[in-house]
Amino acid sequence: MPYNTIIYAEDEGIAIITLNRPQAMNALNNELLDELESLLKTIERNDKLRVVIITGQEKFFSAGADIKEIKKFKSPLEAHYFLTKVQRVINFLEIIPTPVIAAIAGLALGGGCEIALACDLRIAAENAIFGQTEINIGVIPGAGGTQRLPRIIGLTKAKELLFTGGTIKADEALQIGLLNKVVPVKDLMDEVKKMALKIIEKPPLAVKFTKMALTDGLQMNLSQALAYEGRCFEFLFSTEDRIEGVNAFIEKRKPQFRGK
């Protein structure tokens, strides 16, 4: 399927999504959101795709929501319709069973930062800049910025960024736990693919259940989450990959996982 606002490729079990509205610094509009949602649903149904990478261009990951489109909203109801779509798409990044890695260069502001927050792992180029800057135009983040940001970096620093609408560079983002790694711009995709390939080496069902236990468990109290984790653990004893993993460990050889 051809896309107008994204570029899609597959490589060794990796789905690579590139936001592609360079004339608008990859701002999120209705067309991009529709295309991204459709693509993510297609990826979810393809068991051969084991990791998703979402990225942008060298100078911008995404500058956030399309202000020109938002300016046309005349009522809270119109804002609601748009925000519901943004939330649905960004939430899907978080709940899709396939691990998602954000490869971030340049600006990741507003909704662009919220996309990154919903990903499982975040690797950034040295030129990356992060911020929830919505307050500067009289609104607040609406797609996870007030909720995921403090859960990832802590409440105190999150409040500073949200109240001031300020930005931080990649090195500070790494220090506060927003990022997994910072690399030179030229090495960004190579480093992200290295991380993806490490994940692909692991048993697919165990990876998916690990993500489920993390994502769903964090919405439960500890007792419920521990019980849920236990059920996930128990289920994996029905898989061929669990048998293969144990046998390979005992036989001191590399396991051959098949996703069964």
pTM confidence score: 0.94
Residues with Cβ within 8 Å of 47's Cβ and at least 6 positions away in sequence, in order, are 204, 259
- Mean pLDDT taken over the chain: 95
Q: Among residues 69, 94, 114, 234, which one is catalytic?
A: 114
88-128, pLDDT tens digit by residue?
999 999 999 999 999 999 999 999 999 999 999 999 999 99
- Amino acid, single-letter form, for residue 71: K
56-85, pLDDT tens digit by residue?
999 999 999 898 888 888 889 988 999 999
Catalytic site includes residue 114: yes
- Could you report how far apart the first and last alpha carbons of the chain are, in Å? 29
- The CATH number of 204-250 is 1.10.12.10
User: Is 6-200 a CATH 3.40.50.410 domain?
Assistant: no
Q: How far apart are CA 80 and CA 77, in angstroms?
A: 5
- Ordered by start, the domain boundaries in the chain are 6-200, 204-250
- Segment 23-46 shows an average pLDDT of 96
- Segment 130-148 shows an average pLDDT of 95
Q: Among residues 134, 229, 234, 244, which one is catalytic?
A: 134
Q: How far apart are CA 162 and CA 151, in angstroms?
A: 13
pLDDT of residue 101: 98
